[in-house]
Amino acid sequence: MRGNSFGKMLSMTTFGESHGLAMGVVIDGIPPNLDFSYEKLTSWIERRRPGKIEGTSSRVEDDVPEVLSGIFNNKTLGTPIAVIIKNTGQKSSDYDSIKNQPRPGHADQVTMDKYHIRDYRGGGRASGRETVSRVVAGYFASLILPDLEIETSKILLGDGKIFELNRDFYSYLAQIQKKYDSIGGEITLIVKNCPKALGEPVFDKLKADLAKSLLSIGGCVSFSIGDTSLVKKAGSEIVSNLELLGGIEGGISSGRQLMMTVGFKAPVSIGDLAKTGRHDPCIIPRVIPVIESMIRFVISDHYLRQRAYE
């Protein structure tokens, strides 16, 4: 299987299956002498950990990171950083019924078609469990640009309801979970303090790399940069309000705040499998830290590329 690595000057390679021994990531390109905090790393991981948020999967994982290399005396060495997180909450018996019956809407059948073998337990490599490795990478990327701020400004669910990231949102998802159903939605994010002049005007546009990184997250079906109404605006309206462009012009960051919207389909683990409680009725609550991590990683990668030019 190819396609497990991402990035250029700053790169990550993730590994591990949902019900295997561990998930892991190797991050290459982190500069030396950056301050490392194990406590901050664990707090990043905690935000996406299953079993912690109302209206999400009941699978419980300890998610304790083990840093294998690249750190000495709480400083980065500039060498590859390897981190593993052991899987402790597997319940593979939940998947016995689908051993020979691929789930519709999942990667089960296409994985079998492509590789002629699949780990049916929890989706294997295609599981959302893979994203814990991305969150680890996002923490280390944050050491490069610590002033970068990312905010969730709006959540628009598939039924038209609009929420902020608060208890009302989680309670609403819990109601959907009790019905053994699921829902999708869009997340609009604002990125502040992004350096200007990041990205290239052709194939390595900043927005193109952001799109690839976010669309690579399981369940992600759409990405747009700028105001969601941008395609409906006349040229005269755009020229008079450049904020509508979302902070990127010609593929290069302008120094204005970035604005982007990411869409996720409803999870299709419903019905009998949903009754185990080990599914998410909506991906959004636990995927936000993953989105933030990928945004940080892309911007940090482009920052290192630009610094190399200069």
Q: Which of 41-55, 178-192, 295-309 has the lowest mean pLDDT?
A: 41-55
pLDDT at 109 over 90: no
pLDDT at 211 over 60: yes
Q: What is the pLDDT of residues 3-47, one digit of tens each?
A: 999 999 999 999 999 888 999 999 999 999 999 999 999 999 999
Band of pLDDT at residue 96, cut at 50, 70 and 90: low
pTM of the model: 0.92
Confidence (pLDDT) at 59? 59
pLDDT at 80 over 70: yes
**Structural domain for 102, as ranges:** 5-309
Q: Rounded mean pLDDT of 272-290?
A: 76
Q: Which of 54-63, 69-78, 235-244 has the lowest mean pLDDT?
A: 54-63
Report percent pLDDT > 90 for the chain.
67
Q: What is the pLDDT of residues 235-264, one digit of tens each?
A: 999 998 999 999 999 999 999 999 999 999
Q: What does the mean pLDDT of the chain come to?
A: 90
Confidence (pLDDT) at 178? 84
Q: What is the pLDDT of residues 179-198, one digit of tens each?
A: 888 999 999 999 999 999 99
Q: What is the pLDDT of residues 127-154, one digit of tens each?
A: 889 999 999 999 999 999 999 999 999 9
SS (H, E, C) the chain: CCCCEEECCCEEEEECCCCCCEEEEEEECCCCCCECCHHHHHHHHHCCCCCCCCCCCCCCCCCCEEEEECEECCEECCCCEEEEEECCCCCHHHHHHHCCCCCCCCCHHHHHHHHCCCCCCCCHHHCHHHHHHHHHHHHHHHCCCCCCEEEEEEEEECCCCEECCCHHHHHHHHHHHHCCCCCCEEEEEEEECCCCCCCCCCCCCHHHHHHHHHHCCCCEEEEEECCCCHHHCCHHHHHCCHHHHCCEECCEECCCCEEEEEEECCCCCCCCHHHHCCCCCCCHHHHHHHHHHHHHHHHHHHHHHHHHHC
Report percent pLDDT > 70 for the chain.
89
Check which CATH number belongs to the domain holding 274 and give it. Answer: 3.60.150.10
pLDDT at 55 over 80: no
Counted domains in the chain: 1
Confidence (pLDDT) at 51? 62
Of 32 and 167, which is predicted with more confidence? 32
Band of pLDDT at residue 53, cut at 50, 70 and 90: low
Confidence (pLDDT) at 277? 45
